[in-house]
């Protein structure tokens, strides 16, 4: 799902080499602890996915002070969890490796309290069902105003004001990844890491992608990133070939397949199930994106339902398969986030622009999970229903967005002008990767596929605007039934 590593050519992602320094135990901590940051929310009577939290040892990993009040979380991230916070659904901790000495590289500074933003500067006008009449022009490094705005709702029902929105909530609640789904993936990851370390002793295996960023479905496959330590860059094909031989001897793995793509992967299944894994070597930008997208996913209650519905819609209409020249799921996610950032009343800010210290592209991998904890809550003044946002999304890409002149940028929270650089020249769709700044929509290289994508947006927009019924563009019940029987 993710492109190549974020390390620029000729520049190491780590100050002392390609990989992190020698390790001591560190772990991901899956728990139900509620954090007062952008990736926190609570839905009454709904089981939420456990927080993906990395807890380093305090003595070896000094953490900068927390954000001053009123943005300081009521519960510090380093406190011990009480017994009643444990749950039978909590997944076994993901024990990885961290440096045996303080990390080399700049630690994350404390986040600056949000400042008052400059008044939004209107851009080109666009009408979209009465709630997004113009583009804002965000100023660089201006933190969003979180005071003097309405308190956000803690229930999706507040945004289900109509039949269409109700249908979106129903689809989301039936299809979203459950804690048990994540537990299965984590159990397999734990076993794989132990077996891989019999060959590569310092290897660390990370669960990334939609399984971890909050945007997965029950049927979502799992992305794995194997990080190997060393001064020389390993050959991914060689490592994957070695792993393929190893996996064929494992009792819990089957159907191994080496795919020699731009980012080579080893694809395999958990034996006796349809749970599929894609494993890459040192594609660390996937780890960075996991935490960036997770921060967006939990910034507003509407994000996850909106993205899930859009992905199901695109898949149903056969425009969600990069291997066949259409849009990858990652590209679709960025398209949704971009649309929500560019409304007159944005649903989302640009986290990279407003909090660059928390999402710096060259942070040590061990520090990456700490960044989102320093981002204060973002409360949008936009109270549009889910149905209104879906209609606006389809209309934006059907009629308003200039495919031939603009580049979608979540990093900047606006559409950038397309220049004549190699990255954007003669490309039908341009979507900027937030860290590497390359084009994640490069798979769309045939005009016939591009025309089909545009036609799908236009036709679905017309039908949905007329009928206001999700079933008119998507077989809701069939998708729910298919999801429920997958696992």
Q: What is the per-residue pLDDT for 110? A: 53
Burial class (CB in 10 A: 0-12, 13-18, 19+), 252: middle
What Cα–Cα distance (Å) separates residue 293 from each residue in 145, 156, 210, 213, 346?
A: 21, 20, 9, 6, 17
> Which of 121-135, 206-220, 388-402 is predicted least confidently?
121-135
Is residue 475 scored above 80 in pLDDT? yes
Q: Which of 65-69, 125-129, 331-335 has the highest mean pLDDT?
A: 331-335
pLDDT band at 320 (very low <50, low <70, confident <90, very high): very high
Residues 6+ apart with CB under 8 A from 199: 242, 243, 246
Query: Region 298-315: what's the mean pLDDT?
Result: 97
**How far, in whole angstroms, is CA 347 from its chain's centroid?**
16
Spatial separation of the C-alpha atoms in residues 199 and 171, rounded to whole Å:
43
User: What values do phi and psi take at 390, rounded to 5?
Assistant: -65, -45
* Digit-coded pLDDT (tens) for 215-239: 999 999 999 999 997 778 899 999 9
pLDDT of 154 reads 66
- φ, ψ of residue 319 in degrees (nearest 5): -125, 25
Q: pLDDT by residue (tens digit) across 30-51? A: 332 333 333 333 333 333 334 4
258 vs 1, more confident: 258
- Give me the chain's average pLDDT, please: 76
- What pLDDT, on the 0 to 100 scale, is given for residue 336? 98
Q: Between these two residues, 100 and 485, which has the higher pLDDT value?
A: 485
Quick check: 81 pLDDT over 80? Answer: no
pLDDT (tens digit per residue) in 226-279: 999 777 889 999 999 999 999 999 999 999 999 998 899 999 999 988 899 999
Structure tokens belonging to residue 120:
């939004």
Does residue 380 carry a pLDDT above 90? yes
The DSSP bridge partners found for residue 408 are 415, 431
Torsion of CA 120, 122, 125, 128, to 10 degrees: 10
pLDDT at 345 over 90: yes
Give the dihedral sign, CA 400/402/403/407. Answer: negative
């Amino acid at each position: 799902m993710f492109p190549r590593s974020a390390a620029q050519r000729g520049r190491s992602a780590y100050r002392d080499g390609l990989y992190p320094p020698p390790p001591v135990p560190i772990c991901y901590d899956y728990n139900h602890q509620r954090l007062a940051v952008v990736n926190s929310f609570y839905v009454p009577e709904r089981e939420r996915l456990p927080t993906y939290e990395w807890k380093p040892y305090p003595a070896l990993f000094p953490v900068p002070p927390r954000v001053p009040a009123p943005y300081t979380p009521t519960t510090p991230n380093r406190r011990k969890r009480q017994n009643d916070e444990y749950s039978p659904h909590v997944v076994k901790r993901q024990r990885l490796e961290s440096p045996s000495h303080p990390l080399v590289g700049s630690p994350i500074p404390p986040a600056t309290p949000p400042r008052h933003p400059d008044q939004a500067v209107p851009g080109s006008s666009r009408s979209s069902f009465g709630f997004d009449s113009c583009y804002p022009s965000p100023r660089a490094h201006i933190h969003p105003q979180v005071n003097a705005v309405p308190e956000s709702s803690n229930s999706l029902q507040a945004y289900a004001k109509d039949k269409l929105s109700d249908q979106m909530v129903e689809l989301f609640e039936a299809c979203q990844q459950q804690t048990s789904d994540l537990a299965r993936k984590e159990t397999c990851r734990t076993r794989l890491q132990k077996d891989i370390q019999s060959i590569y002793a310092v290897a660390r295996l990370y669960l990334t992608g939609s399984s971890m960023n909050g945007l997965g479905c029950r049927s979502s496959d799992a992305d794995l990133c194997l990080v190997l330590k060393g001064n020389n860059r390993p050959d991914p094909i060689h490592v994957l070939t070695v792993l393929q031989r190893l996996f064929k001897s494992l009792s819990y793995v089957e159907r191994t397949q080496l795919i020699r793509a731009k980012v080579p992967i080893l694809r395999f299944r958990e034996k006796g199930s349809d749970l599929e894994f894609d494993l890459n070597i040192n594609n660390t930008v996937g780890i960075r994106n996991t935490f960036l997208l997770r921060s967006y996913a939990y910034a507003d209650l509407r994000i996850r339902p909106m993205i899930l519905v859009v992905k199901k819609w695109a898949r149903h209409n056969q425009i969600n398969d990069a291997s066949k020249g259409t849009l990858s799921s990652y590209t679709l996610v960025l398209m949704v986030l971009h649309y929500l950032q560019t409304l007159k009343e944005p649903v989302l800010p640009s986290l990279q622009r407003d909090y660059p210290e928390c999402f710096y592209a060259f942070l040590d991998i061990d520090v990456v999970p700490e960044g989102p904890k320093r981002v204060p809550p973002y409360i949008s003044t936009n109270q549009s229903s889910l149905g209104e946002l879906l209609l606006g999304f389809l209309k934006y890409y059907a009629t308003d967005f200039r495919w031939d002149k603009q580049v979608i940028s979540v990093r900047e929270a606006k559409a950038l002008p397309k220049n004549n650089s190699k990255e954007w020249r003669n490309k039908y769709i341009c979507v900027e990767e937030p860290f590497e700044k390359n084009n994640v929509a490069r798979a769309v290289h045939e005009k016939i596929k591009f025309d089909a994508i545009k036609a799908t947006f236009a036709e679905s927009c017309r039908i949905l605007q007329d009928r206001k019924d999700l079933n008119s563009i998507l077989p809701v019940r069939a998708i729910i039934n298919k999801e429920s029987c997958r696992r």
